[in-house]
Amino acid sequence: MKQCRGKNLFFTTDCDILGTADIIFVSVNTPTKMYGVGKGRAADLKYIESCARTIAEKCTNGHTIVIEKSTVPVRCSAAIRKILNSYPKPNRSFSILSNPEFLAEGTAIKDLFNPDRVLIGSEQDELGLKSCETVVSLYANWVPRERILTTNLWSSELSKLAANAMLAQRISSVNSLSAVCEATGANVDEVSRAVGADSRLGSKFLKASVGFGGSCFQKDVLNLVYLCESLNLPEVAEYWHQVIKMNDWQRQRFTEKMIKTMFDTVSGKNIALLGFAFKKDTGDTRESSTITIAAQLLEEGAVLKIYDPKVTLAQMKLDLDMACSERTRALIEKNVVYCKSAFEACDGAHAFAVLTEWDEFVSLDYKAIYDKMQKPAFAFDGRLILNNKKLADIGFDVYTIGHSHLKATAKESEFFFNQATA
Ligand code: UGA
């Protein structure tokens, strides 16, 4: 942005500029609706509608290509078309295109420069197809032509929801198997590797975890569920809803495992939570599994010491405040400690839990951490990034999702463990 700003990249809040644009990308938020019809599932399209009305007002002549960049429900473009057509002007026309975004947080620039594909959906009349070619030529500046896919509008809109739903489904599938692994002695990393080696399946998005977070997966799957319900396809709706239910269950299961392992109570115990962002290399906390797990632990009376390299204190407070019940909310000030390092968070703690896969958590000095923790010291790896054998050798009692529970092998902690369970 620094390279381009002021040359061919400008920012403004002046909407009059829309009147001079050849192409307008509508890239506004489409959050899950939190009120009224479709509450908790449907996408809230008020910002899209407001954009369409502004475009209709400001673009008074010539041809304008309006592109849905935001993730929208299928047939949203029909609503945009209706709004644009409600303000008729003699010398102007619009084409509406769908060009969903597939980049992921933390790798956005890499994904932008080297996308797997660019998808452009357009109306199939002459003007629509011509506009589609204009947008294709824009991307063709840096994306090989064979990776630019063109479809009809509805296919493009649905493909965005479908891609996120299928990615989320893979995570829920592997997370469901992680529970089977724990119950049988199978190892979820080995299962993922074996399954992913099948070229028909592929190796990506098979990493078991405390559940997927982020602003997109839950929102888009729920949006698909809502669409299926609206289309009177209850079986299809239920099929996709299960992806979300499995994700909620995985989070709940992790918290319950922590409580059970720590002798069925965490009340008054210090627990270090390492990671608050929904994935590494971002400070974004939207729908992060850490929020749900932290709220559940607070409900049980735990004292949380939280560290994340990127998330601000204010953001953590805000998220916990929203997630906690009224009773627990009152305890946040007292029972939540925000720490400046993983070491500080673990100092004096009964347990630590890795909830975001930050690289720095892989190479911490766990021996030094162990020495500073209460005994028996518990390690919970919700991201499968730690060497659980090494941790057990240091003296930790280790629980890793999708792996057998590893008891501490060091003598000192065996002593403590036996004392505590006696
Ligand atoms: C996701 C999609 O990957 C993008 O293609 C899409 O463009 C974007 O949503 C969007 O719709 O805007 P994002 O949410 O940024 O991107 O991040 P992901 O890398 O997909 O991760 C989502 C969540 O799944 C994270 O919490 C991550 O930790 C978790 N995850 C991912 C797993 O638990 N296991 C995996 O194997 C992969």
Query: Which tokens in the block code for residue 183?
Result: 């119950």
101: left (phi over 0), alpha (psi -120 to 50) or beta: beta
How far, in Å, is the centroid of ligand 1 from the Cα of 103?
Answer: 9
Say what the pLDDT of residue 410 is: 62
Last-in-domain residue among 101, 121, 153? 153
Phi, then psi, of 303 in degrees rounded to 5: -105, 120
Can you give the residue range of the structural domain that contains 367? 262-421
Asked if residue 122 is part of any domain, the answer here is yes
Q: Is the pLDDT of residue 331 over 60?
A: yes
Average pLDDT, the chain: 94
Query: Is 170 inside any structural domain?
Result: no
Q: Which of residues 279 and 331 earns the better pLDDT score?
A: 279
Nearest atom within ligand 1 for CA of residue 71: 11
Q: Assess if residue 338 is contained within a domain.
A: yes
Residue nearest (by alpha carbon) to ligand 1 atom 6: 102
3-state DSSP call for residue 101?
coil
| Closest CA relative to residue 305, chosen from 262, 269, 260, 258 | 269
pLDDT at 43: 86
Domain boundary among 153, 177, 198: 153
Domain boundary among 121, 153, 185: 153
User: Percentage of the chain surpassing pLDDT 70?
Assistant: 97
Q: How many CB atoms lie within 10 A of CB 119?
A: 21
C-alpha distances out from residue 255 to 76, 171, 382, Å = 39, 18, 10
Say what the pTM is.
0.93
**Number of domains making up the chain:** 2
pLDDT of res. 21: 96
Q: Which of 167, 219, 293 for a ligand 1 pocket mutation test, highest count of atoms within 8 Å of Cβ?
A: 167
Please report the pLDDT score of residue 73 as a whole number. 85
Ranges 80-84, 222-226, 356-360, 404-408, most confident: 356-360
Residue 329: its pLDDT value, please?
93
Residue 287 Cα: closest atom of ligand 1: 26
pLDDT, residue 75, reads: 85
**Which pLDDT tens digit goes with each residue over 143-190?**
999 999 999 999 999 999 999 999 999 999 999 999 999 999 999 999
Cα separation, 72 vs 48, in Å, equals: 9
Query: Are residues 279 and 134 part of one domain?
Result: no
Evaluate whether residue 221 is within a structural domain: no
What pLDDT does residue 411 have?
A: 56
Residue owning the nearest CA to atom 10 of ligand 1: 216
| Residue 113: CATH number of its domain | 3.40.50.720
168 three-class SS? helix
pLDDT for res 422? 43
Top pLDDT among 413 and 337 is at: 337
Q: Which residues contact 271 (CB under 8 A, 6 or more apart)?
A: 258, 297, 302, 303, 304, 305, 349, 350, 351, 352, 353
State mean pLDDT over 302-323: 96
| Within a domain: 339 | yes
Question: Is residue 160 in a domain?
Answer: no
Query: Which atom of ligand 1 approaches the CA of 284 most closely?
Result: 15
In a domain, 298, yes or no: yes
pLDDT value for 407: 83
Confirm whether 317 is a catalytic residue.
no
Q: How does pLDDT run across 192-222, given as a tens digit for each residue? A: 999 999 999 999 999 999 999 999 999 999 9
Active site residue 216: yes
What is the b/e burial string over 293-325, where b = at least 16 CB atoms within 10 angstroms of the residue's CB? bbbbbbbbebbbbbbbbbbeeebbeebbeebbe
Contact, 348 vs 369, CB < 8 A?
no
pLDDT of 405: 85
Residues with CB under 6 A from ligand 1: 71, 101-105, 164, 167, 171, 205-207, 209, 212-214, 216-217, 278-279
In the annotation, is 101 catalytic? yes
Give the mutation target among 157, 244, 278 for probing the ligand 1 site: most ligand atoms within 8 A of CB: 278
Give the lowest-confidence range in 17-26, 72-81, 386-395, 404-413.
404-413
Instruction: Give 417 Cα–ligand 1 centroid separation in angstroms.
Output: 38
The reply to whether 401 falls in a domain is yes
- Contact indicator for 268, 303 with CB cutoff of 8 Å: yes
Claim to verify: residue 277 and residue 416 sit in the same structural domain: yes
Per-residue pLDDT band for 412 (boundaries 50, 70, 90) equals low
Per-residue pLDDT tens for 36-49?
A: 988 888 888 999 99
**The pLDDT of residue 420 is above 90:** no
Q: What is the pLDDT of residue 201?
A: 97
**Which atom of ligand 1 has the smallest separation from the CA of 288?**
26
The residue whose C-alpha atom lies closest to atom 24 belonging to ligand 1 is: 212
Residue 398 Cα to ligand 1 midpoint, Å, equals 27
